[in-house]
Chains A and B, each alone.
Chain A
Amino acid sequence: MVNLFIVIKNLTIYTLILFLSIKLLSKGFDYTAKKLSRANKHTKAAALFISAIAIFAWPFLFADYPYILRTSIIVLLYIVLALSLNFVLGFAGQLSMGHAAFYAVGAYTTALLTVNLKVSFWLAFAASAVIAGLFGLLLGIPTLRLKGDYLAITTIGFGEILRLVLINWTSFTRGPAGIPGIPSPKLFGLTINSNTGYFYLILALAVFTVFISYRLLNSRLGRGLIAVRDDEIAAEAMGINSTYLKILAFVLGAVIAGMAGSFFSTFVHYVNPDNFNYMESVVILTMVVLGGVGSIPGVILGAAVLSILPEALRDIATYRYAIYGILLVMMMIIRPQGMIGKSSFKGGVRHENTKSKKNHKSLWRAVGS
């Protein structure tokens, strides 16, 4: 019972801190977003250039701090993962909660190919992307009929089935024991086995992911996706094939997650089913929601914060997931658009529009009104 009071006291304190930080940080981000959207091209380019140099020089700045370098690699890995979920959740508006499954498919493909068949990492990397993409296609098909919470639960189901296969098909995956001894990649005869090498590898993948996120978003297909997310019926009435786009988003998200998985397995040299459980999907989801669903800078920020936070909060590690839970609820209540909302760089004041009112007709409007 003493325990109960301590836990409640701590949780109350963390909740308060969380509440204040969300409030404060959101103010800060809104302010910065406003400033940024007003800043001229040169300032923006200069800022971008300086941050690019800083990121490229990063491994040299922290060459003597392997801990920092390793954490940076993890941060970049989660940026890739969160952005890959963002294709599905942020662009197409489909709540997929089995995203770790694609990550697992990529990791296991690379592990099996490099360990059992001695295939080169690069080939295995490509195979991971393709096979994860095929799984994305497989999962994309039920989304044609499902929406929101139903889809979420079905995707959890897919994730769990995959995990059970990884555990039970021992002759193929070695079951819960996992696959050790995954080799490091070789490039031009050099083996990449230093943190610096891995840093640049995952940095390249992260830059690639950010790049295609932006290119896609600002293209015809991106507008189609956003249209489907905002209002599927209106999108169809504008000649947009929502089925095709939703599957496209699933496949793209799966491909990128598969690549991240491939990197993970070569970086850690060991995979097992526990790396890819439901909580992993939830962590990726929380990153996207915290940062801002559909907002590329937001998702990057969310991934960075939530992968650094556990390191910073070592002392209260047992509280980590409880805090994640509170964080999700609190974000939904005080800042559902995320730290950097997807429309924070666009003009105009938000009104409640007629459509959104109508769509929520079935909800519990009594409460609080």
Chain B
Amino acid sequence: MFMEQLSNGIALGSIYALTAIGFTMVYGIIRLINFAHGDIYMIGAFLTLTGITLLNMHLVMAFLFGMAGAALFGILIAKLAYSPIFKAPRINIFLSAIGTAIFLENFAMLIWGPETQAFPDVIQNNVYTFLGFRASTLQLVILGTTILLVTVLTYVVQYTKIGRAMRCTSQDMDAARLMGINTNRVVYITFALGSSLGAAAGALVGMYYKAVFPMMGFVPGLKAFIAAVIGGIGSIPGAMLGGIIMGVSESLGAAYISSGYRDAIAFIILIAIILIKPSGLLGKAVKEKV
């Protein structure tokens, strides 16, 4: 039972991690909690599903289609909802993000309908046991995909030109611009990358639970935010760590405490972290200069 819950938690945790990385990247660059990120995750799941059922794509193709579509959504959101008010107080941008989130949820409802849609069985699911560990094919696929995507992302951020530009911009946007970095482009690319990772997470969840529905992104979005906060918002390894911690504690909590309160566990962790160490496990404290 414990081992089963643990592998369940790790699978769930890798999904949170993928979503949290998107959150954290956007926050790192523009200090905005992209509230609509959870809904990008949902859009990604729906697009992947549409790719499989309506467009008869191969699973991998559909997956990439979902990621690309979500990236496009991410860019559009940044362009339409955030960039016009970038000089406004933070609270305004955040409200705009909330508006975007509500819009996306209901947009999905209008297009794909409010009902939960079944995700077809695309992967044959077997259960493997290894040194007491029990894991299903799906769980291994989720873990594998996560590791692959995070490796690609780390490579992009650490070793490519655009990755360097991103790291510069996140430290000091004004300075980065003075150094000749096209910060606009960096911002949009960050949105695109973050959104596509979120979409991958959404599609994986759709496969895992075999269900896709318009509100599916709301709670995971909040949880991914919490995962990002646990690890220290703005830090990519922190988001990974936070995601895994969240997934495992949620699975174990649901199994041993109460499954009805499984979503509450995340919020209790959040409140505890924020009260005890607001900068997160791997984050640095920032204070306003007077």
Chain A residues close to B by CB (< 8 Å): 1, 3-4, 7, 11, 93, 95, 97, 142, 145-146, 148-150, 152-154, 156-158, 160-161, 164-165, 167-168, 233, 278, 282, 285, 289, 318-322, 324-333, 336, 356, 359-369
Q: Given A148-B90, A322-B110, is A329 in contact with B100 using a C-beta cutoff of 8 Å?
A: yes
In the complex formed, the residue of B with least CB distance to A168 is B260
- Contact across chains for A365 and B85 when beta carbons are under 8 A apart: no
The distance in angstroms between the C-alpha atoms of A156 and B98, with both chains bound, is 12
Give the chain B neighbours of A158 by CB distance below 8 A. Answer: 267, 271
Bound-complex Cα distance A168 to B265 (A): 14
Closest to A360 in B: B87
A-B CB contact pairs (8 Å), 16 listed: A152-B94, A154-B267, A154-B270, A157-B222, A322-B103, A324-B102, A329-B96, A333-B81, A359-B288, A360-B88, A363-B31, A366-B86, A366-B183, A367-B83, A367-B86, A368-B86
Q: Compute how far the CA of A154 lies from the CA of B258 in the bound complex, rounded to whole angstroms.
A: 22
Q: B33-48 interface mask toward A, CB cutoff 8 Å, 1 = contact, 0 = none? A: 1010000000000000
Our pick among A154, A233, A362 for the contact of B290 (Cβ within 8 Å) is: A233
Q: A168-B261, A233-B288, A363-B90 are in contact. Are A282 and B225 (CB under 8 A)?
A: no
Q: Is residue B111 contacting chain A, with contact meaning CB distance below 8 A?
A: yes
Contact of B260 among A148, A149, A167 (CB under 8 A): A167
Contact, CB under 8 Å: A328 / B110: no
B81 and A329 contacting across the interface, CB-CB below 8 Å: yes
Q: CB-CB < 8 A to B95: which residues of A?
A: 95, 285, 289, 328, 332
Q: Is the CB of A149 within 8 A of B94?
A: yes
Closest-CB distance, B97 to chain A (whole angstroms): 8
Instruction: Evaluate whether A328 and B91 lie within 8 angstroms (CB atoms) in the complex, with A319-B110, A364-B32 already known.
Output: no
B174 located at the interface, meaning its Cβ lies under 8 Å from any Cβ of chain A in the complex: yes
B218 located at the interface, meaning its Cβ lies under 8 Å from any Cβ of chain A in the complex: yes
**Could you give, for residues 231-274 of chain B, a 1 whenever the CB lies within 8 Å of some chain A CB and a 0 otherwise?**
00000000000000000000000000010110110111011001
B284 at the interface (CB under 8 A from A): no
Closest to A153 in B: B225
Q: Is the CB of B107 within 8 A of A7?
A: yes
B99 to chain A, nearest CB (A): 3
A1 contacts which chain B residues (CB < 8 A)? Answer: 54
- Residues of B with Cβ closer than 8 Å to A? 29-33, 35, 54, 80-96, 98-107, 109-111, 173-174, 177, 183-184, 187, 218-219, 222, 225-226, 229, 258, 260-261, 263-264, 266-268, 270-271, 274-275, 278, 288, 290
Contacts of A320 in B (CB 8 A): 106
A148 CB to closest chain B CB (Å) equals 5
Q: Is the CB of B187 within 8 A of A149?
A: no
Question: Once bound together, how far apart are the Cα atoms of A325 and B80, in whole Å?
Answer: 13
Contact A322 B94 (CB under 8 A): no
- A233, B96: Cα distance in complex, Å: 26
Residues on A with beta carbons closer than 8 Å to the beta carbon of B83: 364, 367-368
Among A328, A356, A362, the residue within 8 A (CB) of B102 is A328
By the criterion CB–CB under 8 Å, are B94 and A326 in contact? no
Kindly state the separation between the CA atoms of A324 and B98 in the bound complex, as whole angstroms.
Answer: 10
Interface of A is mostly: helix
B174/A325 in contact, CB under 8 A: no
How far in angstroms is the closest Cβ of chain A from B177? 6
Neighbouring A residues of B270 by C-beta, 8 Å: 153-154, 157
Closest A residue to B83 by CB, please name it: A367
Interface contact B98-A7, CB-CB below 8 Å = no
Which of A278, A321, A356 is in CB contact (< 8 Å) with B89? A356
Residue contact A164 to B30, C-beta cutoff 8 Å = no
CB closest chain-B residue, reference A366: B183
Cβ contacts under 8 Å, A142 to chain B = 271, 274-275
Contacts A157-B267, A364-B32 given; 15 further ones with Cβ under 8 A? A95-B95, A146-B274, A148-B91, A150-B278, A157-B266, A167-B260, A278-B218, A285-B95, A325-B101, A328-B95, A364-B29, A364-B31, A364-B83, A364-B183, A367-B82
Q: Select one of A93, A168, A360, A366 contacting B184, CB under 8 A.
A: A366
**Nearest chain B CB to A264's CB is how many angstroms away?**
23
- Given the complex of chains A and B, what is the CA–CA distance between A285 and B31 in angstroms? 23
Once bound together, how far apart are the Cα atoms of A336 and B177, in whole Å? 28
What B residues does A153 contact at CB under 8 A?
Answer: 33, 222, 225-226, 270
Expressed in whole angstroms, the minimum distance between the Cβ of B217 and any Cβ of chain A is 13
Cα A148 to Cα B89 in complex, Å, equals: 10
Docked-complex contact A164 and B92, CB < 8 angstroms: no
Nearest CB of A to B202, in Å: 19
Nearest-neighbor residue (CB-CB) of B99 within chain A: A328
Least Cβ distance of B93 to chain A in Å?
Answer: 7
